[in-house]
Amino acid sequence: MKKYIFFDIDGTLTSLKTGAFVESALESIQRLQDEGHFVAIATGRAYYKAKDAMKQAGIHHMVCNGGAGIVINDELVDNRPLDKEKALLIIKEARSKGYGVLVACDDSVDVYMKDDLFIRQVGERKEPTNYILDENLSFDDLPHIYKIYIAISEEEERNLQHLDLLGHMRFVKDYLMYQHDEKHLGIKRMIQHVHGSLDDVVVFGDGENDIIMFQDQFYKIAMGNGYPDLLKKADEITDPPEENGIKNACIRHKWIKNF
């Protein structure tokens, strides 16, 4: 029976030790596709940051941007921004309370700022970023808002009345990031696009940010190196990626032949 199989990238298809794709995982992906299964990536990364990984893995479909982006047959068919009204409330409150703000208004390394307060408060971000300073910037006039970065510590974030208006996460201690966190909804939209069945969805993941896609309706496989709370939600725990976890699970279920 055809399965719709979604893979996280980091720590699932790749080794957390080296950051490289695990060879047996890449071979498994090719064999799954040869057997007629639908194979896709499901990642929180923005499209521009995930498309090279998709290509490297030999995969042609992807849920990205935390579930807001949909790629089918190597084409980005949808990429939804944040709810603008809610985003503006968050931005304006943060700025009024003295916290530096960066805003991404498209799918790129560009972030816009009205002043350099964010950089003065917490320094530059750890990943490639193009900072565009515009003292005349009107956030209200931006056509779309995809991400918001606020220079606020975890201890102080409760100072924001509108903190939970949108999904947010913290990958580094110095700043808060607002972006979509609904990979499960992206998977459901993808299945609608390709006229598949949710009952045939399989998800592979390892991290805390994969918990959201470990939905009851999906068959959930956690990597052996997985986050403890994720392991509790899994239907099955396979080996870590370096120990051929993807390959072993796919062979166990007879989705592919042994190799």
Instruction: Look at residue 16 and tell me whether its pLDDT is greater than 90.
Output: no
| Mean pLDDT estimate for the chain | 96
Take residue 70 and report the two structure tokens written for it.
């949909």
pLDDT in tens, 127-151: 899 999 999 999 999 999 999 999 9
* pLDDT grade for 233, boundaries at 50, 70 and 90: very high
pLDDT in tens, 220-232: 999 999 999 999 9
Residue ranges of alpha helices (H) inside 125-200 are 183-193
pLDDT in tens, 180-224: 999 999 999 999 999 999 999 999 999 998 999 999 999 999 999
Q: What superfamily would CATH give domain 4-80+182-252?
A: HAD superfamily/HAD-like (3.40.50.1000)
Domain locations along the chain: 4-80+182-252, 84-178
pLDDT in tens, 66-109: 999 999 999 999 999 999 999 999 999 999 999 999 999 999 99
CATH code of the domain occupying 84-178: 3.30.1240.10
Section 6-25 average pLDDT: 95
* pLDDT grade for 6, boundaries at 50, 70 and 90: very high
